Structure 1
Amino acid sequence: MEIYVGTCGFPKSRRAIYEALDAVELQETFYNMPNPERMAKLRQEAPQFRFTAKVFQGLTHPPGSPTFKRTRGFKPGEKHGLLKPTGENLELWQRFLEAVAPLKPEVLVFQTPPSLRPEPYIYDFFASVVGGVKIAWEPRGETYRDPALIRRVAELGVIIAVDPLRREPPPGFTRYFRLHGLGGGEVNYRYRYTGEDLSRVAGILTSLGSGETYVMFNNVYMYEDALALKRLLKQQKT
């Protein structure tokens, strides 16, 4: 079993991250379409490092999402976003794939908003984009009201990303964990994981068997928590 511990974004210098951790999930690719030159530069900086990337919000979020305030050079239309299997979204997906390609990402992560309802067309969208690159989907909020839809999407080969301290890890050779902190609601970015929390994560990881697992922290203390988990996993091996 291979375990890759990392952070969502760069909370420290890139060099520090490359030296101390196993992976980074790029967040800049969510707010803006990837810049191919920037993607190539990151890959050249760390040829053996594992990058994943969060998919551009033009595919996942509604046109009125406040997150678009940080977006440059793209104005979403009514047929964009929310995983709709429209020609506009499928064209945008191809543009995203081409732009992010120089990074050679291990996984592309779709994170949908909590308000997204479990519409049947979500399955149709993923059926149209699977193949060629590993993709993961982190459902949130409303979407979890239809677990059958999530299972059907997983059957397409889509990795279902979860927080293992909140939801049971789904089966599969590749697993993708995103940890947003504990407490009320689905996220608590100011939460710092305790030794007991990290021991629980380590226990879950050792119970998974063969395959590969990405453990990506997405909280204020992501760097410190990722390092602590790596130390704990190393101690368990000795």
Structure 2
Amino acid sequence: AARWRAAAPPQFVFCLKAWQVITHPPTSPTYRRTRLDARDREHCGQFGFNPTVRWAWEQTFAVAQVLRAAVVVFQCPANFRPTAENVARVRRFFEKAKRGRFHLGWEPRGEWDPALIAKLCHDLELIHVVDPLVTDAAATGPIRYYRVQGAQRRVAKPDWRRLQQACAGRPAAYCFFNTSLRAADARRFKDLISE
């Protein structure tokens, strides 16, 4: 992380995703590449505030500090549903997790009620992370964090204006493209908002 920070221009803003060990259950196919011991894996994910998840947060926190990150995003798997147990886990994790100078973004996916998302984001001081072309941010804080999703997706002409409007008038708005033309889309959007 220190090499990345040193190599980046001084004004470069880093944002990162929290390690999946915090958010995703060990059955997630993305664990194939991890080198975690099988005994540790059984304690992974779903914001369980156990030693394994706390360790994963310490690792993520340390990287965010070195990078002087602006935002750390906690992207939930779609199967992390808004059950009473999961809501309690989210609350417990964010109430107990050490905070840095960076913002914390939360990306619930699936069938979460916007009012519940707004309440959790308000109570826990989280940025609601969304794809603004699919849904509006439920939380009303001044900072926005958008992730335009869809590996096969191409951003259509009318969507550029919607993205621009979603970011307008904010002290900070982060917009990331997880699309087929991610780098080109990011450059195009940068040019559009710079006009």
TM-score range, shorter chain: 0.7 to 0.9
Give the Cα–Cα distance (whole angstroms) in 1 for the partners of residues 118 and 37 of structure 2. 33
Q: What residue identity is the alignment partner of 1:64?
A: T
Q: Scaled by the length of structure 1, what TM-score is found? A: 0.72
* Residue aligning to 2:12: 49
Mapped contact 2:144–2:173 kept (Cα < 8 A): yes
Tell me the number of residue pairs that the alignment of Structure 1 and Structure 2 aligns: 186
What is the alpha-carbon root mean square deviation over aligned residues? Answer: 1.9
* Residue aligning to 1:123: 91
Q: Secondary structure at the match of 1:120?
A: helix
* Residue aligning to 1:19: none
Are residues 1:215 and 2:175 paired?
yes
Percent of paired sites with the same residue: 35
How far residue 149 of structure 1 moved from its aligned partner, in angstroms, is 3.4
Are residues 1:141 and 2:110 paired?
yes
Matches within 5 A, 1:14-163: 39-46=1-8, 47-73=10-36, 75=38, 76-118=40-82, 119-121=86-88, 122-129=90-97, 131-132=99-100, 133-142=102-111, 144=112, 146-155=113-122, 156-163=124-131
Q: Secondary structure at the match of 1:109?
A: strand
How far residue 102 of structure 1 moved from its aligned partner, in angstroms, is 1.8
Q: Scaled by the length of structure 2, what TM-score is found? A: 0.86
Runs of 4+ with deviation above 6 angstroms? none
Mapped contact 2:121–2:128 kept (Cα < 8 A): yes
Mapped contact 1:123–1:152 kept (Cα < 8 A): no
What does the per-residue CA deviation read over 1:27-86, in whole Å, with 9 as the maximum and x for residues that have no partner?
Answer: xxxxxxxxxxxx011100113211111111111100111101122355443322111233
Higher relative contact order (CA 8 A, sep 6+): 1
